[in-house]
Amino acid sequence: MLPAPLPAAELSALLAQLYQGPTEAMPWAGFLESVRQRLGAAFVTLVLRHPATDRPGLIVNASDYGPHLPGEPSYSEQYYALCPFLDLHPDRLFSADELFGEAGWLAHPFYTQYLQPLGLRYILAANLVTPDGVECALFISRVHAGQDFGEADKALLHGLLPHLKRAVDLHAALDVLASERSLYADAVDRLQVGTVILDEHGRTIRTNDVAGRLLQARDGLYLSDGALHAHCPVENRRFRKILEGAAQAHALAAPRSEVTTLSRPAAPTPLSVLVRPVPLSYRSEDKSRRPAVAVFIRDPAGSPRNTHANLRKLFHLTPTEIELALLMVDGLTLDEAAMRLGIKKNTARAHLRGIFAKTGATRQALLVKMLLSSVVGMG
């Protein structure tokens, strides 16, 4: 006799939690807990990344005690090597008693050393390989007072596993996007470019650290009621029109960008600002909080981070040559740079000849262009 299928409403709720899993702070925590309660299990464990000698695993648990049992020993660090389920045929469900027989399982080191002290007796396991090649595993365990997993339990999981594999691929894709976004954001920070993201009503959604410092110091730009304003009233009217135009271009999915400069109350060099619409997104989120406009802010007098080490690695410059090159990038003349460094002009000229020889530049303008267009500020 075939096991009774899960009622449609319950199955729908389970699938909703399953596909919500990739976006949870603890991936699939809600889905695993629902499966645990549905199967009367003590533990449901999803291994998203198997442990290895050079890195820990990425493991999510659901249990009566939360993600871990009190005093639970580390599977990643101690017992992974004993696990007998790692070489199972992918995409099939196996119980421990089916694989080893009752006597064999109760004598297995993984059971006696790891599971028995935790009060766990019955295990249902599946190794999964997703369509994109991600390898993961699902383990479900019951206590000694329970019973082994039956056909109804296996039928439920057989129906869920294909969906779980698709959701794991979604999680992997989101993880790649998050890593790329973090990488690009870090590169922008290192270049000392401030970024402010605005919604369709001109309210700030997020800023990076560089922009945050400028706004906090009210250094040419500031926030008022969540909106971005320029320090100078005349410039602010022009700047606000630029922001409104970018928001309209976003709504029309029209490519457009504008640049401007904004004066600063405490610095002679104005800020360079680029405003452009954010491409339309099809995410079904609150329209008022959808990213609509990106504002990029650059202080021309600032220098990218970590430039000293990168200049040394790229061009083998000496410390004095590095300081001289950076001062020239900041717009100083040779005389001004020599004065700033406290050296004679002839000494500065000798260092400049050394810089030219090492970089291949033949004049100061070419040197500045070469350094600004290199990867110096991105390291």
pLDDT at position 305 over 70: no
User: What backbone phi and psi angles, to 5 degrees, belong to 245?
Assistant: -65, -40
Nearest in space to 261 (alpha carbons), one of 298, 292, 294: 298
User: Which superfamily is assigned to 8-179 in CATH?
Assistant: Transcription factor LuxR-like, autoinducer-binding domain (3.30.450.80)
Around 139, how many Cα atoms within 13 Å sit in the side-chain half-sphere?
25
pLDDT at position 79 over 50: yes
pLDDT for residue 159: 93
Cβ within 8 Å of residue 149, ≥6 positions away: 39, 95, 122, 124, 140, 142
User: Which has the minimum average pLDDT: 155-169, 253-267, 337-351?
Assistant: 253-267
pLDDT for residue 326: 82
Q: In this prediction, what percent of the chain has a pLDDT beyond 90? A: 48
pLDDT for residue 91: 87
- Could you tell me the pLDDT band of residue 72, with boundaries at 50, 70 and 90? very low
User: Which has the minimum average pLDDT: 40-44, 201-205, 250-254, 306-310?
Assistant: 306-310
pLDDT for residue 88: 83
Instruction: Mention the CATH class of domain 191-298.
Output: alpha beta
**pLDDT, tens digit, for every residue of 166-199?**
999 999 999 888 888 888 777 777 777 889 999 9
Residue 272's DSSP bridge partners are 261, 298
pLDDT at position 348 over 50: yes
User: Which has the minimum average pLDDT: 112-121, 181-190, 332-341?
Assistant: 181-190
Q: Strands 293-298, 267-277: parallel, antiparallel or unpaired by DSSP?
A: antiparallel
pLDDT at position 347 over 90: yes
Distances 109 to 59, 83, 113 between C-alpha atoms, Å: 21, 9, 6
Q: In this prediction, what percent of the chain has a pLDDT beyond 70? A: 88
User: Which has the minimum average pLDDT: 62-76, 102-116, 292-306, 348-362?
Assistant: 62-76
Handedness of CA 106, 111, 116, 122 (dihedral sign): negative
Q: If you average pLDDT over residues 116-120, what whole number do you get?
A: 90
- Could you tell me the pLDDT band of residue 86, with boundaries at 50, 70 and 90? confident
- Could you tell me the pLDDT band of residue 77, with boundaries at 50, 70 and 90? low
Per-position DSSP letters for 220-254, written without gaps between them = SEEEETTEEEESSHHHHHHHHHHHHHHHHHHHTT-
User: Which has the minimum average pLDDT: 37-46, 172-181, 305-314, 362-371?
Assistant: 305-314
**Per-chain mean pLDDT for the chain:** 85
pLDDT for residue 12: 93
Q: Do domains 8-179 and 191-298 have the same CATH topology?
A: yes
Q: Strands 293-298, 193-198: parallel, antiparallel or unpaired by DSSP?
A: antiparallel
> Cα–Cα distance between 49 and 136 in angstroms, integer?
6
pLDDT for residue 224: 92
Query: CATH: 3.40.630.30, 1.10.10.10, 2.40.30.130, 1.20.120.1760. Which one for 307-378?
Result: 1.10.10.10
pLDDT for residue 221: 94
pLDDT at position 73 over 60: no
Please answer whether residues 220 and 245 qualify as being in contact, where contact means their C-beta atoms are separated by less than 8 angstroms: no
For the chain, what are the domain ranges? 8-179, 191-298, 307-378
pLDDT for residue 284: 41
Q: If you average pLDDT over residues 110-133, what whole number do you get?
A: 92
- Could you tell me the pLDDT band of residue 7, with boundaries at 50, 70 and 90? confident
pLDDT at position 379 over 60: no
Q: What is the pTM of this model?
A: 0.70
